[in-house]
Amino acid sequence: MVLSQLIFHAHPSDQTTTVYSYYDVYDSPFARFDPNRRISIRQDSVLTAFIVLCTVGLAGVVVHRLLSVRGAKKKASRQSPPSNPTQSQDDDTHNISHTQSATSGDPPQHINWRNLADLQLEISAIELVTPLAAGSYGVVWRAKLRSNEVVAVKTCSRTSLDDVQNFVDELALLSTLHSPYLVSLLGVTWTHACDLKAVLEYMDSGDLRQLLDNAPPPSPQLVANSPSFSWRQKLECALSVGHALVYLKQQHVIHRDLKSRNVLLDSKCGTKLADFGIAKHLHDDTTHASMTTGVGTYRWMAPEVLTFRRYSVAVDVYSFGVLLTELDTHRVPFTDVQNDHGRSVADAAVVCMVLYEHLRPSFSNKCPLWFVELGRRCMQADARDRPTPEDVVDILTCQLGMLANVMEDVVDER
């Protein structure tokens, strides 16, 4: 087993890490493993030394891969920007050369702005009100339009050519997606290339992880009422995410970062999937080499994403199975896995156990059996053994219908 890890983004609040780089992991047969068993991991100095040596040994190879990919992205981004009737062609709205030259000394290069000129809003039409979330990539604001409509504004604090191009690509993809189960892109605005902002649909109830952190797990009985987050609400939430996956499959798009943080809630609009920063459109010419390895957030990542294997929309189904464990336990996946000292196991160790010990996030002992079965099917090691998004929607729809009938019977008895 060899593991090479380069670029991390830590989330201290939920003890997770997002990786934007590559892993070199050689396949090994999976051992039989009970996903509900409490794991005790011994992390001695030998294991630590082994991981360090493996990482150093392969660092050169991985760096070479990353530089090759970065070079390819730069080559692809050297295209002429689309014309914008509201601004001149020599305006730095379409040109990052001034910022790029000033910050890195690289020769002037251009951003491929795709269709964003068609979505441009006047900067004066938006009033930033309150920051909602911040990370290494940027800040999300609560904002208002002139019409007093409340919106969310996402900014990019990074100024490198690749980062700005990635943000443009994310917004260009999102502009083509139209579903009641996805957060909508309303427009974009900028004063210069490194000041690009996305104006998004505002979801007034935060994200699913916040709700799970603040709400006590409800009674295991599906018919029980909960003042916070009932089983019925959980199933409706899961069903909405399932519908989002069906739509993305129809559009040949893989989200690649499905997790509770990226599931947003609204008092009127319900549940919607957000954050397409690392989503992938499966073009007909997509090859194995273009399928980035190790993209996403560790604890929600399918085994094939961690290895150099071609993958498909089935990776989102795997992440959906992990999401089901969150809905059941309210815990971040694998937080119940501890070492001999009673401490949480590092992400690198979790990755190894997922790949070689078939470790999966656990459900509670009181979780409905059909819910556990669905989650385990979604988290199968072989992508071919997982249900399709359509299967997931059918199962959840059926169970919600049965729950509605049970609730009606309870009301009638009263």
List pLDDT tens digits, range 299-351: 999 999 888 778 899 999 999 999 999 999 999 999 988 888 888 888 889 88
Set 14, 24, 207, 257: catalytic member: 257
pLDDT beyond 50 at 288: no
Residues 42-99: pLDDT tens digits? 444 444 444 444 444 444 443 344 444 445 444 444 433 333 333 333 333 333 333 4
For tokens 């509770």, what's the residue?
260
* Residue of 188, 375, 323, 169 lying closest to 253 (CA atoms): 169
Which pLDDT tens digit goes with each residue over 371-414? Answer: 999 999 999 999 999 999 999 999 999 999 998 776 554 434 43
pLDDT value at 252 more than 60: yes
- Averaged pLDDT for residues 12-17: 52
CATH number of 92-201: 3.30.200.20
Q: Measured between alpha carbons, how far is 92 from 84 in angstroms, rounded to an integer? A: 12
Cα torsion 267, 269, 271, 273 to 10°: value is: -130
State which CATH number among 3.40.50.720, 3.40.50.300, 1.10.730.10, 1.10.510.10 fits the domain covering 208-413.
1.10.510.10
Query: Does pLDDT of 165 surpass 60?
Result: yes
163 is catalytic: no
Extents of the domains making up the chain: 92-201, 208-413
pLDDT at 367: 94
| pLDDT tens per residue across span 343-383 | 888 888 988 999 998 999 999 999 999 999 999 999 999 99
Q: How confident is the model at residue 139, as a pLDDT?
A: 94
Q: How confident is the model at residue 39 (pLDDT cuts 50, 70, 90)?
A: very low
* pLDDT (average), residues 8-24: 46
Sequence-ordered strand ranges (E) for 146-293: 150-155, 185-189, 197-201, 253-254, 263-266, 270-273, 280-281
Q: Which of 51-55, 191-195, 199-203, 386-390 has the lowest mean pLDDT?
A: 51-55
What's the whole-number average pLDDT of the chain?
A: 76
Name the DSSP class of 177: -
